[in-house]
Amino acid sequence: MYTKKIQFDDYSNMKSVSSLLCPNCNDPALHQGAAHTFWRTMEDSNAGLHTVAGQNGTILDGNLTGNPSMRRDGTYLDMECEHCGPIFLKLAIFQHKGTTYLTWFDATLEPSW
């Protein structure tokens, strides 16, 4: 389920870059964790490949549970805030009908529109 709109800091000392804000406390002190990527064998398929790349190595399996896309491929990142700790919501990127979306995502729930 897509639960919270992405917010960015309007100011950055880097040109053309904005800071992602924590969905809990709106602070930009976020750290990336493991990357979860889901590849379906074809659109709407329940079969595919799931990879998790993190500091402990890479895991490959066929479990598509947690895919942020209802019909296609998707990716999400585990995130941690310096103030809140691990963030329950995941930073997700997925495609739907030719549009790419970026959102905070609850990976324990099925995606819905």
Residue 22 sits at the vertex; the CA angle it makes with 20 and 24, to the nearest 5 degrees, is 155
Q: 4 pLDDT exceeds 80?
A: no
**pLDDT for res 45:** 92
**pLDDT for res 18:** 82
Stated length of the chain: 113
Q: 2 pLDDT exceeds 70?
A: no
Q: 113 pLDDT exceeds 60?
A: no
**pLDDT for res 9:** 80
**pLDDT for res 50:** 97
CA distance linking residue 64 with residue 74, whole number of Å: 10
**pLDDT for res 84:** 92
Kindly state the average pLDDT of the residues 97-105.
Answer: 89
